[in-house]
Amino acid sequence: MIRWIQSASSRGVLMAAGAVAFGFGIMPVALAQNGPTAESPPSPDRAAYLQNCAACHGSALTDGQFAPALKGAAFLTKWGGAHADELDRYVRTSMPPANAGALDAGTYAAVVGYILENNGVATSANLASLTIPKLPASNSTLGGAITTRHALPPWPQPANPLAGFKPVTEAELDDPAAQDWPAWRRSHLGQGWSPLKQITAANVKSLRLVWSSALPAGEATTEPLVRGGVMYMMGAGDNVVALDAMTGRQLWRYQRTLPKGVAASGKKTIALYGDKLYAATSDLHLVALDARTGRPVWDKVVSEKTGLRSIGGPLAAKGVIMLGLSGQAPGGALIAALDAETGEKLWSFDTIAQPGTPGGDTWNGLTAEQRSGASVWTSGSYDPTTGLAYWGTAQTYDTGPLRDRKPGLNNDGLYTDSTLAFEPRSGKLVWYYQHIKNDQFDLDWVFERTIGSLNVKGKPRRVVMTAGKAGLFDALDPATGQYLTTADMGFQNFITRVDPVTGEKTVNPDLIPDRTRVRFLCPHAGGGRNWQPTAFDQSKGIVFVNARDVCTDLVPAEGKGILSTGINMDYAPPPGSTGLYGMVQALDLVSGKPRWTVKQRAPYSMGVLATAGGILLTGSVDRMVTAHDQATGKVLWKQQMPGMPNASPISYEVGGKQYIAMITGYGNPVSLGISVLTPEIQMASVVSSGIYVFALPD
């Protein structure tokens, strides 16, 4: 079967689907046909082509039965007038179809050179300066492997939703059109709530799969974006695709070629801004792609610092693209900002306070190199009212040097477990709030910051909210960082008091671990309110959240342990547990108490989506996606997926029809479940990934 794949330059290129194409080299090729004999060995470029391409495209570039001609009328009809670097980029990022990017750089260069040579282009080092010749008007008919003796019926021309693309504005990221989902958690505010209400608690049981699309097998943790009928998604191996959001038809595709030794990792989000899409790459770059074509506009290094990873994703606001990095590198992690138009580096902020800077004396006397942590592995939020961007940080695993405060010193460990508020362009830290000091349990507060209105002590207040693994949601004043209130999900056992004025948490000193004995803590560091994003219904003051209700024995380790206090963590059920470890909850942020809690055996692996239709969607490690009634938590619909539900579901509308989209694929930190406590739940033996889109029947 042959299908059209749209190139990054919007030129169609034929590829074989379900057949051997470009790079497998397992079908015999007759070198004598239209080529040199044994006495005349092929040139290096031709040899590279014969080895990797001829099996499908043919040894003469026009005689393949499984892929299109690569010279002559058929080729020039689609590529004539393009710069040679466009063809080079397409080949490197799309071929071979089943294993794109697998060939080495020299082989790709030889193949592209051979194709260009056969189309009358003398190659040079600067491919961007070369133009593939256009087909003369008198010869602009299809040729190659397609007959010229018979008239071809016209083929359907599908609508291109990118044809009317307009730049994404700041205003629509602040408050998107109801039908769109153009930013992570839908808007700058990070609420994860959709105003669409065609799908309701009464009819959600009728949801049906309307289209799906495979992604590269591997980590798939990116929440899709949808804007103007186009879906943008990042898959494993730093692949970015644009799809028709109504049909799933691919519009363009970009694939990053990573340096040797760099492991690809999933990202939580990509970002749309202006006429570009921004993607963080696994080699610590930030790339700006033309949102219409997928063609790279600029590609910049975010940081040269070793020991860091990029797994959160960018935040775009005020003409600035901000990105956090994570890892246990000496000196800690960082947040960086680049100019959206040019990629110019604007600023970088060390999330571990350095000696001699504000907060730098809070590390119990450790030198800068001895400090680590404060990872940033969730994207930030932006408040158009205050003009500030909010980012969260994690803990440090190196808890040993901070456990016991030395006389005359401070061991709070700034800026771990904090909310940081920045001016986007200047990088000025306007305020910070540390949610818990000197975290000795790996119960970090690095998750999304949600902005909205909330009734606090009888008065409406604008707030920025977040929670750590302990399930305590702190609400702060977004302009000043002033503490306002806390709501508790009710499963933690180590915080005994929250100061009503400052929000400072008092930790039970008997639970702070050391090597003397086993201590019982709730939740486990891999449990609680974790990686999965929440959804906030501002009209009701309710946050919808899932969690893993599982505890831990803090066990003295033989060596250093998971935490450098010499502690390992053994999973344990909570007191009185019936073995239901997955929890989804509606938490009333006004009263500070849950409205309802529903539990199940399988831990949750997917974030939460709430809609104006009264439904709540999430998914779990048993590959089950569920829709709940927001009012009661009752399960209204369920669907088992081919792979692990991952990232977060989203909702959008095209042509008057509401859709629910979700991805599957391993990759997020909780996607492996808690196998020691739920051994009967089988993980998929085949790692796959895909996008699945549901809607009501017509």
3-state per-residue secondary structure call for 343-355: CCEEEEEECCCCC
Cα distance between residue 672 and residue 682, in whole Å? 10
Judged against a pLDDT cut of 60, whether residue 19 lies above it is answered with: no
pTM for this entry? 0.87
Q: Tell me if the domain spanning 170-695 has CATH number 2.70.150.10.
A: no
What confidence category does residue 506 fall into, taking pLDDT thresholds of 50, 70 and 90? very high
pLDDT of residue 98: 63
Instruction: Name the DSSP letter for residue 560.
Output: S
Q: Is 96 exposed, middle or buried (0-12, 13-18, 19+ CB in 10 A)?
A: buried
Judged against a pLDDT cut of 60, whether residue 557 lies above it is answered with: yes
Judged against a pLDDT cut of 90, whether residue 335 lies above it is answered with: yes
What confidence category does residue 561 fall into, taking pLDDT thresholds of 50, 70 and 90? confident
What confidence category does residue 484 fall into, taking pLDDT thresholds of 50, 70 and 90? very high
Judged against a pLDDT cut of 70, whether residue 134 lies above it is answered with: yes
For residue range 140-190, list pLDDT tens digits in order. Answer: 444 445 677 888 888 888 999 999 999 999 999 999 999 999 999 999 999
For the chain, domain boundaries = 2-139, 170-695
Q: For residues 604 and 673, is the Cβ–Cβ distance under 8 A?
A: no
What confidence category does residue 32 fall into, taking pLDDT thresholds of 50, 70 and 90? very low
- The mean predicted confidence, pLDDT, of the chain is 90
pLDDT of residue 222: 96
pLDDT of residue 617: 98
- Please work out, in degrees rounded to the nearest 5, the angle formed at the alpha carbon of residue 673 by the alpha carbons of 668 and 674: 140
Judged against a pLDDT cut of 90, whether residue 509 lies above it is answered with: yes
Cα distance between residue 489 and residue 75, in whole Å? 61
Task: Count Cβ neighbours within 10 Å for each residue of 220-248 and write b for 16 or more, e otherwise.
Answer: bbbbbbbbbbbbbbbbbbbbbbbbbbbbb
Task: Count Cβ neighbours within 10 Å for each residue of 182-200 and write b for 16 or more, e otherwise.
Answer: bbbbbbbbbbbbbebebbb
pLDDT of residue 55: 84
Q: Across residues 120-148, what is the average pLDDT?
A: 70
pLDDT of residue 4: 30
Asked if the bond preceding 254 is cis, omega within 30° of 0, the reply is no
pLDDT of residue 29: 37
Nearest to 48 by CA among 125, 109, 124: 109
Cα distance between residue 185 and residue 553, in whole Å? 34
Q: Across residues 66-75, what is the average pLDDT?
A: 83
Top CATH class of 2-139 equals mainly alpha
